[in-house]
Amino acid sequence: MRKAFKYRLYPTKPQVKDLERTLELCRELYNAALQERRDAYKKAGKSVGLYQQKRYLPQIREELPQYKRVHSQVLQDVLHRVDKAFQGFFQRLKAKKGKAGYPRFKGKGRYDSFTFPQAYETGVKLQEGERRVLLHGIGSVKVKLHRPLEGKIKTATVKREGEHWYIIFITEVDPKPLPPSEGAIGIDLGTNPHFLVTSEGEMVEAPRYFQKAQAKLATAQRSLARKKRGSNRRRQARRRVARLHRKIANQRKDFHHKLARRLVNRYGTIVHEDLNILALSRSYVAKGIHDAGWAQFLQILAYKAEEAGRRVVGVDPKHTSQDCPVCGHREKRPLWVRVYTCPQCSTLLHRDVAAAQNILARAWTGPSGVAIPCPRSPGL
């Protein structure tokens, strides 16, 4: 299986200029390739393919000397990105779901990464006891490997995030399954006050990083709005806003990684609702859902489970919070009702714990359609 390792780069000022120059050349090539495809179809009704455009790369490098310092495979990867953008456009056009979204040109400062598709064959090598990395056209750049790099390196991507630079290695690693576990858990995702409630009654408080940083963000954004466009102060204010957003995103991702790891280590099967997160993120609860980051958490949970040899199962979310997990009685209740007594079997239930138990039960439904009852939480 493939795994990503992201490390911070510490380039010197001349190296930063070289990195920015490489990004700018890649952006210009991307826009030129997009323009060529667009004009060919508009003026001649013909489609220009990936390999047709690749054939022009030697000529481009010969006529424009600045491209000789950029590795040929990095330039090929830029054309692959253009081709991938058009493939996605045609797929969305065929699906007829919402706007297809025609590929757009990349504005200045909007192209933030370039990739070496075959890292060790394209001049990307670790040096000096893995404290520096050699990049073709850039030189030897200081890198901090905060965790060991595992497996065989397949690709390397250099990425700019605000004022910082990172390198992401994609490696081929052997799966490291954990010891078998018969434990199974159902999880009910929420936004406030709990991010996650399990079928065993454990409640994980929602960190609400965005909500906590709202006051600082509002101040920084007001300051940005008052600055003159194109000025150095506006540029500095924009960096402050970006830095705050990046901190929130990093805090959220750290929380997701730690929680997912804890669940994967403890349980062999993890069951969650198969939610339409995209639709929910456009509803009246959008702010809380974006702050919670459900999609990112489920993605992290899935890949950690795959690596550890665990199962993650998505089930139908309909009526999970309305059904009694003991007798199956269904009753619609307002959202403010958190604890209630089932009118049919007189069981005292917590709304979210009952939903998590129903979610787990749906993963174990047999051929007869009757769900195997889950153990009730202590104290309920």
Write out the catalytic residue numbers: 188, 273, 352
Instruction: Read off the amino acid at residue 279.
Output: A
Cβ atoms of 114 and 65 closer than 8 Å: no
Give the 3-state secondary structure of 286-333: HHHHHHHCHHHHHHHHHHHHHHHCCEEEEECCCCCCCECCCCCCECCC
φ, ψ for residue 5, nearest 5 deg: -125, 120
User: If phi over 0 gives left and psi between -120 and 50 gives alpha, with beta otherwise, what is residue 348?
Assistant: beta
Residue with tokens 């069951």: 271
Cβ atoms of 116 and 73 closer than 8 Å: yes
Instruction: Read off the amino acid at residue 359.
Output: I
